Amino acid sequence: MTFRILFVCLGNICRSPLAEVALQDEAERRGLSIDVDSAGTGDWHIGDPPDPRTIEAAQRHGTDASSLRARQVRGSDFRDFDWIVAMDRQNLTDLQTLAPNDGQATLLLALDLVDGREGESVQDPYQFGKAEFDAAWRDAVLIANAIADRVEAQSSK
């Protein structure tokens, strides 16, 4: 069975693309069947590639985010994904508001999946520089590992 996960941030050009490629890499490394996508709650960047600093951060860590394109969350996402993972509290609140009545996806705050980081948000690096994008990458890797651990545990049952 393939597990489907959607990462969501505000514009889908910084944090959620980093989480998408981090989980894709971890799933591939572990041989897990996980479909990963990302989206934004806002519509400002639809069709745009990730922020150049996002692409650079991913490249510094051995992966490629350059082919991704921003999209906005759709109503069908709440039916098509198992988990929709918000990168911060405001996006989680927005997703709860957007969720249609027939939505079946579990909505989660990303760092709630990481022991000791519950309740925290992945900080938005957009207004900052390389260090903040690298911090967002480190959080994305922690989240990817936590999700992969849960999928492995469910797969072994």
Out of 15, 37, 51, 139, the active site residue is 15
The pLDDT, as a whole number, for residue 155 is: 77
Give yes or no: 82 in active site.
no
Nearest to 86 by CA among 105, 60, 63, 102: 105
- Percentage of residues in the chain having pLDDT higher than 90: 92
What is the set of domains in the chain, with CATH numbers? 3-151 (3.40.50.2300)
Tokens representing residue 36 in the block = 């990963």
Torsion 15-99-155-71 (CA) sign: negative
Residue 157's pLDDT is 64
Residue-wise pLDDT tens digits, 72-84: 999 999 999 999 9
Q: Is residue 14 annotated as part of the catalytic site, yes or no?
A: no
pLDDT band with cut points at 50, 70 and 90 for residue 148: very high
Exactly one of 25, 51, 124, 139 is catalytic; name it.
124
Q: What is the pLDDT of residue 1?
A: 77
The reported pTM is: 0.95
